[in-house]
Amino acid sequence: MRWVYVLSGLIINICLGSIYSYSVLQIHLKKLFENEYGIKVSATEMQIPYLIFLALFSFCMPFAGKLIEKFGPQKIGIIGGILLSIAWFSASFAKSPLELSIIYGIIGGIAVGTVYNCPLVTVAKWFPDGRGLALGITLIGFGISPALISPIIDILTNNYGIKQTLKIMGLAFFIIIPLLASNLRTPSKIIKSENENGTEKNIKIKDMIRIPSFYGLWISFAIANFVGLMAIGISKPIGIEIATKSGISEKEITHILTFLMIPFAISNGLGRPLFGWLTDKLKPQKAATISLLSILFAVIYIYFNSNSLFTYVIVFCILWMNLGGWMAIAPTTTAVFFGLKNYSSNYGLVFTAYGIGAILGNLTVGIIKDITGSYLNIFPIVMILIFFGVIISYKLLNFPKF
């Protein structure tokens, strides 16, 4: 019975994870703005709708958490699903990055921030044992979403145009998300595990923010999201840049790069149960350190081997996988460290790190590209941040003492 909630959450997350297809979506939208509406747009301008979406997704989570505690995941999930469908449908009328930021970025970000925690709260409360793995499986949907959504966007756009594609996607989400959200129900009492102390804690936000472990989790999560969300947002454009350096034209490589969203997304999806399981088995500190070190080695490798498409594929699989991994590490750690009773609100606050990472990562990479002419010049900054993140996670990401 409880696995039904995991399946429902997985499918809901496929819809919500459509934001990770923005790397493909922005290519079509940039052409629309320039060719049909005669607007010349920069790399930074095209990143703004994406970062606004991710920022509002994050910052709405604490408020949505309160609403979920009051009204339950079912009602909040249905409302959020309707909002997301409106965002996609209305985006078809955008004539500039600014309008896209308002229509798609603001409405869509609020919508995903409203729905996202609904299946997580449901699954966390039904799985006292193996919570990391169960949450990771639920979150696979968000990770693999681009593998499904990106090709759909390309196919629909090639046949009907980008404006009709946005309308079709909006109508699909209007049906799928509310239908599945209506199935989400939490148990009447917290199901306790004899082997897990986290379920017996009852830490409120006002107490959580006084604990060093919270800051260790928040800072590590923000740094991982800076890198991961930046990488997702530029996956196709930086692929074009690397291909060009290798002597391959954009026309020759563009469809291959769209296809690569599939292994990238699969890596992101598999990173969630993998790091959820590692968090269960090795505890949060070790799981976090493994993730951050693998990111560090990956960005060093691509920076010094930037002419190789093979290197690009391997490194971006690692970056996508680790972003997915943190989407399991963070909620699992929140439940284990601070308990389940106030989980919606607590994880909502932890998740603001996602928004900060999204804003800083995507603004920084857009500015670096506009100033230097290359996306690759973001990687020295990433190396410094990840090194700092390893130290933070080692020093602060420990079980809190009460």
In DSSP notation, 243-312 reads: HHHTT--HHHHHHHHHHHHHHHHHHHHHHHHHHHHHHHHH-HHHHHHHHHHHHHHHHHHHHT-TT-HHHH
- Answer yes or no: is 155 within a domain: yes
DSSP classification of residue 92: T
Distance CA 378, CA 387 (A): 15
Share of the chain above pLDDT 90, in %: 53
* 164 has pLDDT over 50: yes
DSSP classification of residue 96: S
- Answer yes or no: is 252 within a domain: yes
Give the model's confidence band at 124: pLDDT under 50 very low, under 70 low, under 90 confident, else very high: confident
Give the best-scoring range by mean pLDDT among 8-12, 181-185, 338-342: 8-12
pLDDT at 189: 67
Do the beta carbons of residue 361 and residue 184 sit within 8 Å? no
pLDDT at 190: 62
* pLDDT greater at residue 191 or residue 237: 237
- Answer yes or no: is 294 within a domain: yes
* 1 has pLDDT over 80: no
Segment 255-274, tens digit of pLDDT: 888 788 889 988 988 998 99
How many of the other CB atoms lie within 10 Å of CB of 72? 16
pLDDT at 221: 96
- Answer yes or no: is 189 within a domain: yes
Specify the 3-state DSSP secondary structure of 400.
coil
Q: What are phi and psi of 138, to 5 degrees?
A: -60, -40
Do the beta carbons of residue 203 and residue 345 sit within 8 Å? no
Distance CA 283, CA 362 (A): 30
The helix (H) or strand (E) run that includes residue 230 is helix 212-233
- Answer yes or no: is 188 within a domain: yes
Give the model's confidence band at 370: pLDDT under 50 very low, under 70 low, under 90 confident, else very high: confident
- Answer yes or no: is 146 within a domain: yes
Do the beta carbons of residue 69 and residue 369 sit within 8 Å? no
The set of residues, in sequence order, having a beta carbon less than 8 Å from that of 343 and lying 6+ positions away, is 121, 124, 125, 334, 335
Do the beta carbons of residue 278 and residue 290 sit within 8 Å? yes
pLDDT at 166: 96
Give the model's confidence band at 198: pLDDT under 50 very low, under 70 low, under 90 confident, else very high: very low
pLDDT at 199: 44
- Between 110-119, 182-191, 216-225, 365-374, the lowest mean confidence (pLDDT) is in 182-191
Task: Identify the CATH number of the domain in which residue 156 sits.
Answer: 1.20.1250.20
Do the beta carbons of residue 195 and residue 327 sit within 8 Å? no
The set of residues, in sequence order, having a beta carbon less than 8 Å from that of 401 and lying 6+ positions away, is none
Which two structure tokens, joined as six digits, stand for 231? 């990488």
* 155 has pLDDT over 80: yes
pLDDT at 307: 87
The set of residues, in sequence order, having a beta carbon less than 8 Å from that of 206 and lying 6+ positions away, is none
* 95 has pLDDT over 80: yes
When pLDDT is averaged across residues 314-332 and rounded to a whole number, the result is: 94
- Answer yes or no: is 402 within a domain: no
How many of the other CB atoms lie within 10 Å of CB of 364? 18
When pLDDT is averaged across residues 192-217 and rounded to a whole number, the result is: 76
**Could you list the residue range(s) of the whole structural domain that residue 327 is in?**
3-396
Domain count for the chain, please give it: 1
Segment 98-116, tens digit of pLDDT: 999 999 999 999 999 999 9
- Answer yes or no: is 86 within a domain: yes
Indicate left, alpha or beta for 84 from its phi (over 0: left) and psi (-120 to 50: alpha): alpha
Q: What is the mean pLDDT of the chain?
A: 89
